[in-house]
Amino acid sequence: MYPLELTVNGRSYQVAVNVKTTLLEVLRDQLSITSPKVGCNTGDCGTCSVLLDGKLVRSCITNALSAQGKEVITVEGIAKAGELHPLQEAFHENYGSQCGFCTPGMILASKALLDENPNPSREEAKEALSGNLCRCTGYVKILDSVMAAAEKMGGPQGS
Amino acid sequence: MTEGQFFKAASPQEACDLLAQYDGKARLLAGGTDLMVAMNLRQQSPEVLIYIGDSDLNYIKEEGGDLVIGAGTTLSEVLNSDIIKKSAPLLVKAVSQMASVAIRNVGTIGGNLANASPAADSATALLALNATLKLVSKGGERLVPVDQFFTGPGESVLGPGEIIQEILIPAQVNGTKWGYHKIGKRKAQSLSIVSVAICCSLEGGTCKDARIALGAVAPTPILASVAAELLEGKALSEGLIDETAKAAANATSPVDDVRGSAWYRRRASEALVRKLLAQMSV
């Protein structure tokens, strides 16, 4: 076993992992942070998505030891105390979530997009979310939610 | 069962030393978008992992007119590079249609080549761009043109102690035109059923140094050299385009698989070469 230190949602953790452990296993099984889901476990579906040093990654195919010393954000970490993130609000208000299994990944993929491009076109949002599957097929409402959140967050110049 | 060992190589040389030390037992880990999938599916169970995500293999530069891309450069970095957009837009186009954001953020161009999938989209583009790979090992280094790199599905000339250090793309001559088209089951997150990349100088209206590359239609990504030679020194007429497209389809040896039939792949290869050459001719 190897020691692994990482920060998740602003809190530091130390765990022990083996060479095959994935970041998703660390989050769910060792830290009980369960918003990233086990879907395909092959990097295809996107429901395990997290932000690693600000970048969207698949935690199911991220070797845990490659995240040594890095900062992980899951959907639990984007809300401020008692206050939902505008993306969470927008998903709630626009019915962007049905069964909810894909929602954490969808919200983080959306956050990664808005962090880079605060005023995306609907087409750009579609492209950014194209690696996240929703088996309820609620894509229209999901895109509505992302566009609403972008508007709520006001874009770069508050326009 | 052994627990396995994990090393973090600080440089390509250190990675080569470790590979030599664990002769045949170690696997390189960069973004993990192929290896970790294989490990999750229990198709692979390496005893030793050498992590090269932090090994100074991540760079994009111009050297004497050539474009040099470190093998550890992620697909997202390729996509966002102004240098590559300017000097090898074909590669940017191919990479933009690979996988999805989260995979491109960690998957590397060297990993895509080393994995040696017949459907590796970066390979099709790099074949058309006449790229060369710099391979390094403990014993030294050698240059291998991309068209001599692949030997079969999942197989290449890469020796057990060797790693891809960088990709060299020669400066394209003036008047070079290019085209790229990929067919997959869906737009995002899907492997190619057929991909075609073409580069050709069309200065003064005649073709020179044409390169036609096809992916996912043979045991390796291939160059349709016989087809490309038909173009040499000639103007792109409708008849010549038709002849070349047929010759390119003849260069393929596709298989039936879950993504498409051999029959479809051959027909689509011909159609795509015809379409791209027609677009380049105007």
Chain A residues lying within 8 Å of B99, measured CB to CB: 131
* The amino acid at B15: A
Would you mind telling me the total number of residues written for chain B in this entry? 282
Q: In this complex, which of B5, B40, B187 lies closest to A61 when CB atoms are compared?
A: B40
What mean pLDDT is reported for chain B? 95
What does the pLDDT look like over B115-141, one tens digit per residue?
999 999 999 999 999 999 999 999 999
Q: Is the pLDDT of residue A113 over 50?
A: yes
Q: Is A72 on the interface with B (CB under 8 A)?
A: no
* The amino acid at B103: I
The tokens 């960088």 sit on which residue?
A: B166
> Cα–Cα distance between A96 and B184 in angstroms, integer?
28
Q: Is A106 on the interface with B (CB under 8 A)?
A: no
What mean pLDDT is reported for chain A? 95
Q: Are B75 and B107 in contact (CB under 8 A)?
A: yes
> Cα–Cα distance between A132 and A43 in angstroms, integer?
10
Tokens of B166: 């960088």
- Biggest CA pair distance of chain A: 51
What does the pLDDT look like over A36-62, one tens digit per residue?
999 999 999 999 999 999 999 999 999
Tokens of A155: 């874009």
What does the pLDDT look like over B19-76, one tens digit per residue?
999 988 999 999 999 999 999 999 999 999 999 999 999 999 999 889 999 999 999 9
3 state SS for chain A: CEEEEEEECCEEEEEEECCCCEHHHHHHHHCCCCCCCCCCCCCCCCCCEEEECCEEEEHHHCEHHHHCCCEEECHHHCCECCECCHHHHHHHHCCCCCCCCCHHHHHHHHHHHHHHCCCCCHHHHHHHCCCCCCCCCCHHHHHHHHHHHHHHHCCCCCC
Nearest alpha carbon to residue A28 among A48, A45, A53 = A48
Q: Are B75 and B97 in contact (CB under 8 A)?
A: no
> Cα–Cα distance between B125 and B215 in angstroms, integer?
9
pLDDT computed for residue B129 by the predictor: 97
What does the pLDDT look like over A63-84, one tens digit per residue?
999 999 999 999 999 998 889 9
Give all strands of the β-sheet with B132-137 in edge-to-edge order: B60-63, B66-70, B163-169, B132-137, B140-145
> Cα–Cα distance between A112 and A146 in angstroms, integer?
11
Read off the pLDDT band of B159 (50, 70, 90): very high
Position with higher pLDDT, B217 vs A156: B217
Phi, psi of B239 (to 5 degrees): -65, -45
Chain B residues lying within 8 Å of A44, measured CB to CB: 189
Tokens of B280: 């380049």
Q: Is the pLDDT of residue A159 over 50?
A: no
**Contact: B32, A61; criterion CB under 8 Å:** yes
Q: Is the pLDDT of residue A155 over 70?
A: no
pLDDT computed for residue A158 by the predictor: 44
Q: Is A62 on the interface with B (CB under 8 A)?
A: yes
Contacts of B54 (CB under 8 A, 6+ apart): B8, B9, B10
pLDDT computed for residue B186 by the predictor: 83
Smallest CA–CA separation between B245 and chain A, in Å? Answer: 32
Q: In this complex, which of B29, B39, B100 lies closest to A130 when CB atoms are compared?
A: B100
Q: Is the pLDDT of residue B267 over 70?
A: yes
Chain B residues lying within 8 Å of A61, measured CB to CB: 32-33, 36-37, 40
Alpha helices, DSSP H, located in B75-146: 75-80, 82-87, 89-96, 101-106, 109-114, 121-128
Q: Is the pLDDT of residue A157 over 60?
A: no
Which segments of chain B are extended strands (E)? 5-8, 26-29, 48-51, 60-63, 66-70, 132-137, 140-145, 150-152, 155-156, 163-169, 176-184, 192-201, 208-215, 222-223
pLDDT computed for residue B204 by the predictor: 86
- Mean pLDDT value of segment B149-157: 97
pTM more than 0.80 = yes
Q: In this complex, which of A2, A66, A130 lies closest to B188 when CB atoms are compared?
A: A130
pLDDT computed for residue A156 by the predictor: 57
Q: Is the pLDDT of residue A86 over 50?
A: yes
Q: What is the ipTM of this complex?
A: 0.94
* The amino acid at B268: A
Q: Are strands A71-73 and A2-8 parallel, antiparallel or unpaired?
A: parallel
Q: Is B29 on the interface with A (CB under 8 A)?
A: yes
Count CB atoms within 10 A of the CB of residue A69. 9
Q: Is the pLDDT of residue B2 over 60?
A: no
Q: What percent of chain B has pLDDT over 90?
A: 91
